[in-house]
Amino acid sequence: MLSNKIVFVTNLIDTIKFPFRKDKELYRSFYDMMGFYPHHIQHYKQALMHKSVSIKNEKGRPLNNERLEFLGDAILGAVVGDIVYQRFQGKREGFLTNARSKIVQRETLGKVATKVGLSKLIQTNGSFHSHNSYIEGNALEALIGAIYLDRGYDYCMLFVKKQILGHVLNLDKMVQQEANFKSKLLEWSQKNRVQLEYRLVKETHEENGTPIFLSQVILEGIECGKGKGYSKKESHQIASKETLMALRKDPKLEQQILKMKEQHAVMEIPAEAVAVTY
């Protein structure tokens, strides 16, 4: 693990070299994000390149941030797993897995990328919208991949621990929140022996071809919350969240669902045969 003294000395040396660097503005931007300067800036430049602005390398292969994203995804999982393992002594595997997943999920990474200023540096062809957290989250993973190639695992740990969990995310607060709404709704349906279904309502595409999914939760044939996302999984999470909120706010909805379950049991007909709009 890096000591504060090593980081201080290294940053001091890099600061002395800074006036002689090319791309000073980019070096400074990365320093503000990471807390240290890049050594091989080409890795970081590639981390900013969305596939829509790919260029060909000397071998004619497309050059963008997808390979760095793949690497960064693996490194991020290891770093966050390391952090939660050390932070939550005595907690079981299920708790640790859930804590890690809350940090590495695309929505969280997209928000982090925006807060640290990475989103402003991402290069696209202009047709990709900034609200697509996949682009931003992928770029953050690519940045971690670049850090790993440039400075190694310990600097990846330093970035995540001090710049992300130290300034942007509150890990202790996050683990207390229920982020997996689909899992929570599944638990509720199993507890009450209610039939749960996720129905794809519509699939559309943005102008750039990015797919958008609209899904709806069906409980005992009753149409509940809807969710829109860039993947079916994301739309299911949002629809589940909307349904859970509705169940908490309106006791009549739960009563209606349980009453419908009783009717289905008596009539012995499948729930999907009944279409009731809530």
Give the catalytic positions in this structure: 73, 141
Angle at 54 between CA 66 and CA 57, to 5 degrees: 95
Please provide the distance, in angstroms rounded to a whole number, between the alpha carbons at the two ends of the chain.
55
How far from 107 is each of 110, 121, 199, 236, 252, CA to CA, in Å?
5, 19, 22, 14, 32
DSSP 3-state of 212: strand
Q: What would you report as the CA-atom Rg of the chain, rounded to the nearest whole angstrom?
A: 23
Instruction: Determine contact, residues 171/165, Cβ cutoff 8 Å.
Output: yes
Tell me how far apart the alpha carbons of residues 9 and 88 are, in angstroms, rounded to a whole number. Answer: 31
